[in-house]
Structures are given as C-alpha cells and as structure tokens.
Amino acid sequence: MSEIRLRLPDGSERRVPAGITGQGVAEKIGSRLAKDALAIKIDGRLQDLNLPVEHDASIAILTFDSNEGHEVYWHSTSHLMAHAVKQLFPQAKLAIGPAIEEGFYYDFDLERPFAPEDLEKIEKKMTELAKAATPITRKDISKADALAFFNNRGESYKAELISELPDEAISIYEQGDFADLCRGPHVPSTARIKAFKLLSIAGAYWRGSEKNKMLQRIYGISFPNKEALDEYVTRLEEIKRRDHRKLGKDLDLFSISEESGGGLVLWHPKGALIRKTIEDFWRDEHLKSGYDFVYSPHVGRGSLWETSGHLGFYRENMYSSMDIEGQEYYVKPMNCPFHIMIYKNKLRSYRELPLRYAELGTVYRFERSGVLHGLLRVRGFTQDDAHIFVAPEDMETEVVTVLAFVVKMLRTFGFDDFKAYVATRPEKSVGENSRWEQATQALKVAAEKVGLSYEIDEGGGAFYGPKIDIKIKDALGRLWQCSTVQFDFNMSERFDMTFVGVDNQAHRPYMIHRALLGSIERFFGMLIEHYAGAFPVWLAPVQAKVLSISDKQFDYAKGVRDRLRAAGIRAELDPRSEKIGFKIREAAMEKVPYILVVGDKEIEQKTVAVRERGGKDLGAMPLDDFINRVTDIIAGKSMTTELTRG
C-alpha cells in the first residue's frame, strides 16, 4: 500500500497509508486526540473525519478548543435538534440551522407554536438520539436528485434553497432516518454530542424578509462535557442578571417607548445624570488634547450626502428623504460632511493643522425592528465623534496620538483588556489600491507603537478607508465593539478640500474619523452590564444616601445631605417613617455606593454611620472625614468604594 506524507501544525510529518480516514490519522497521533477529534482540515479545507485522505497534505485535526471546532460541533448539534423535532413533530418543515457565535439555532415551519415544555421533550429525544451513536454520513447527489429527494419529503424550504444553488453536485448529510441539505463537515457520530441545552424560542422570517412567512426559531448550546455546559448556563444566568434593559428599568435609568418609537431612547433623570458625567469628562479631556467643539444640524441636503458617497454606499442605512421647498433633505447618518463644511469655510494653512473637530452628534440610522436591542442597537444615537484634518506626512503621528487617547479614556472607565482589529478594504469602496495599502500599513505601525496587539479584519474597512476597531472585554469576558479610528484619503478629494503648504501651493489634507466610546447609548449599556448597575462612585447617579432612623433626626439628616451636596457629592435623603432595615435594603437595591445612617447617637457625636456598597459596615465617622475621603475617590475616578483610613 502506498504511503502519503502529512504535515502537522507543529511542523512535524507523519507517513500514513494513502486512503486513511481523518479519524485514523487522529488515532495515529494519540488516543486523546482521537477521542476529541471533530473534523480534519486538509490544505486549509475542512473535511469529515470519516472521509479518506488520498495525497500529501498539510493537516490539522479540529477539536472543540478551536473556533472552527465550535462551529462543527454546534452545527452538528443543530442537526441533532432538527432530527429530534422531526421525530416528535413529523409535520414540521425544516428551514435552516446554522452554528452562530455562541451555539446554534434551527428554524421550523410548524402550524402550532412551540411551548416551553416542548423544549424539554426535544432535549430528551436528542439525548436518546445521541446515545444511539448513529453514524453521520455525507452523500453527494445531483441537483435534480436532491430536488426530488426533498420534494418527496415535503421539505419545500430545502427545495427552494437547492433550486438557487449553482452547483450541480449537492451534498446531503444523513443520520438514521434524518437527512438535511448541508455543506458540512459534521462530527462522525451522534455519540460525539455530549451535553446540550435548548435556550429559547423566537420568531424569524424566512430568509430574513418581512414579506415571507414567520417561522419558529429554537436556540441552543452544546459542549463536549456537562461541566462546561453547567459553567455556561451559570454564566448565562449572570448575563441575564446584568441585562442593561432590566437594570435600566430597576434603577430608573432609561426607557424605550413604542408610543414614541422603537429604538429611540428616553433618558430618565438618573440615567441622564450619568450621561452628563460621562460627557463632562469627555469634553474636559478633549479640551486638554487640543480639540475644538462644533455642532451640526440633524438634517442636510441630498447633494451633501451624494458628494460624501453615503447615498451611493450607505443608503440602505439612511431614512427616506424629505422634500423641503423642492430640495431633497436627509436625516444625518453621520456627522463628517458637516465637519468638512466647517473646515471649508475658509482657506486653511499648514500652520493650522492638525485641526481636530469634536462633537457629541446625534445621528439616525435605519435598523429593522427585529434587531433593535435596548441601548445596544438603536435608531437614534449620539456619537462621541471627531474628525481630524491633517497633513499627509503627519497622519501616522496623529493616529498614534488618537490611539493613545482611546486607551486612556477606556482605562478611566475601568476597561483594561482590549483587542484591536485592523479592517482592510471592503468590496464596495473607493480610492487607489496603493493608498489603501499605505494607509493600512500606517494603522498597523500606529497600533504597534501604542502597544496594541491586533488582528486583521479582511474587508471590514469603511468605503473611504481602512480603520482600527477596538473591542473591550467586560467583567464576564465578553468582547464589545467600542472605539474606532478610520483613515480617510477620499473625502478631501470628494469635497475638494485643500490647505496651503509651506511651498505656498494647495495640498490635500487627510482625514481621521474617530469615536472613542462609540456611541453614548451603546457605551452606557455596556457600562451597566459591566458593573451590573453598581457604577464607580464618580459615575453613580446617587453617591450617598442619608437615612434617618426616625422623624426626630430629620433636620440633622437634611443638614448632612446639604453638606454633601455643597461638597459636590450627589446625595439623597430618605426621611420616610419606615423601619431603618427596610430603608437600608432598599438603598442597597438601588446600588448606592454609600449609605449614611443617622440616629440620636450620630446627632450627639456629630457623626454619620457609614455602610459601603456590598454591606460593609464602617461604623460612625465624622462627616468631614467622610466628605474628604469620598471627594478624593471621585476626583481620582477610582474603581473602588473603599474608604481609606487616616
């Protein structure tokens, strides 16, 4: 029997018989790998473990530890779920069932709605099917045979998908009496799927179009062992506990009313106070960093958006135009064209550059109702926007400065773990390749100089230039899209922007589009979930709450509150004739950093009894001591509530 050479990821080589399966390769490498193997990658192409390897190749055995392993495992579990549904509900029609970022889903067409108790039945059936250790096999058939196969089964959604495929060879995956249209690969047997949980039921239009039928979508998650599943479920419960929509309501921070419009945020007094605190800090730091503040309108003429390119490249995200005295106007999706108009208002010299225009500018973008999600996905939001006009030779230096500013801002809000992505030229874009390559390289160099490790996001750039996106990791280890720094060498030409250089000739400036926090709404939602509503003292809407034990202490308690306010501490008074234990519990639920209890003893000694958030009782201390310590914490924007002694 002839042999082939296989190159492993560590650079070593193995000689194996030609025609050996991927599972056989895994067994030759090691018993543990053979047990954990899910699929094989041959010269960069994924393949099922039970298919033969026929030639010399570079190979990698995929396990659940890799992102591609996740996808294979979760996609295979979606088939297992669909198999269970078809056995329990034979009349259900199959739509699609992909792996997603965390887990999988499958869409079904079933006349009666799934009920929560149905998920338990489906899980039980999935367990039976997994224990049966049914082989999962791939079959390649002609397009005509595939259409006949699924039409005979009444699977009209599968037939529709097949009819649109350009390929004449169609792959089907079978496990027992279940078959599905799929490219694969899949795990070799249902026995590989060990621990799973079905999480929720939702509605979803077929192919995402509101013109099509509403289907039922079941979401799920799976892992190779129960311990990992239990850990995930615990994490999921913590995510639910931190959900900014629930906390926003419980803490009276914001609301979204269908009467006023989906995706449009109503800021309540406490939420608005936190927003003001964020924005005040933002403005102060921008002034220190040499930015000028500008304001721009909420609507602009259609010709402005034509020149900028937004109507050509971004129209599907813009709201319909309005007619004003025979002219088309659009609600702005971006602030940049207005900032350019300010730049062009007069002749500019190289001595003025870089010019840094900053605006907390509210923009409006079309989002379908199905994707709206609290503060994280809205239709109207305020960008902490800035546009920097810079001489080409100074672009890299300015990008380094901006990235350092990003890191400083995010760290102040308690984020220290970042991931950066350099996004390259997308398919729909403008400009010469040489400029794109030069700009992309400049962004990479800038990231390295600031000490930001980065990955490449192929095709993720804006239509006018490459960018760096920075994601932050929250308390639960989740990554959130936050800051973005975008290189732009096209707008200056589109708007005929110039500056007079040292040679007294006209030159084109480059632009940097940047947002440090992303949008105020989204960033606020992230903060709520990161801190579970227990904001750092400097951000908390109420920093101290004064509680009187009885009505007799009202005047003293009011005086304490007034002293706190005079010192710049946001304080409230709870003078209600309720038991002190009840008032303490209620203040704790409001996540107030400090609870100050005053009774007859505190009046006599001119003190306050201090409790830190979390229940730590510090006992009595002079009010002036408390004020001095808390104002130091606020001024330092500390992440702790701990009051240091001395």
Query: What is the CA angle 268-271-277, rounded to 5?
Result: 135
Specify the amino acid at residue 608.
V
Q: The tokens 């890191």 sit on which residue?
A: 407
H/E run at residue 82:
helix 67-88
d(CA 230, CA 154): 38
Question: Could you confirm whether 79 is annotated as catalytic?
Answer: no
Question: Could you confirm whether 336 is annotated as catalytic?
Answer: yes
Question: Could you confirm whether 383 is annotated as catalytic?
Answer: yes
Contacts from 211-215 at CB under 8 Å and sequence distance 24+?
213/109, 215/95, 215/107, 215/108, 215/109
**In 3D, which of 176, 177, 209, 222 has the Cα closest to residue 107?**
209
Specify the amino acid at residue 423.
A
Question: Could you confirm whether 365 is annotated as catalytic?
Answer: yes
- Judging by DSSP bridges, how do beta strands 327-331 and 299-301 pair with one another? antiparallel
Question: Could you confirm whether 286 is annotated as catalytic?
Answer: no
From 365, 522, 545, 591, the catalytic residue: 365
Question: Could you confirm whether 513 is annotated as catalytic?
Answer: yes
From 23, 383, 486, 553, the catalytic residue: 383
* Encoded tokens for 509: 């400036």
From 513, 545, 561, 591, the catalytic residue: 513
d(CA 137, CA 182): 11
Question: Could you confirm whether 275 is annotated as catalytic?
Answer: no
Q: Phi and psi for 401 in degrees, rounded to 5? A: -60, -45
Length of the chain equals 646
From 107, 182, 192, 336, the catalytic residue: 336
3-class state of residue 200 by DSSP: strand
What DSSP designation does 314 have? S
From 385, 469, 488, 574, the catalytic residue: 385
Residues 516, 405: contact at Cβ < 8 Å?
yes
Cα 32 to Cα 36, 133, 193: the distances in Å are: 6, 19, 16
From 197, 242, 356, 387, the catalytic residue: 387
Residues 49, 39: contact at Cβ < 8 Å?
yes
Residues labelled catalytic? 336, 365, 383, 385, 387, 467, 513
